[in-house]
Amino acid sequence: MGFGDFFKNLFGGAKGKAADTAENFAEEAIEKVKEMAEPMMDKVEEFVETAKEKVSEYVPQAADTIDNVVESAKEK
């Protein structure tokens, strides 16, 4: 029984330590990715705002063009 308990404790303890180490590594990696992504997210937000402004400028023109196409099709 002594040997069985020794090996069970030895490998069971290593398994727990490996899981803790992997978890710590994953948490640290996630934090690094968040830090690196933050400046990019600001740029993406700026791009999206600019894109929204540009699209909103063309939406009325697109609606008018579609209306013209529909009217033209009706006439023909």
pLDDT tens for each residue of 15-74? 666 667 778 888 999 899 888 888 887 887 888 888 888 877 777 777 777 778 777 777
Q: What is the pLDDT of residue 58?
A: 75
CA 58, 64, 66, 69 torsion-angle sign: negative
- pTM over 0.75? The answer is no
User: What DSSP character marks residue 76?
Assistant: -
User: Does 14 have pLDDT greater than 70?
Assistant: no
User: Does 7 have pLDDT greater than 70?
Assistant: no
Q: ∠ CA 40-41-45 to the nearest 5 degrees? A: 120
Q: What is the pLDDT of residue 18?
A: 65
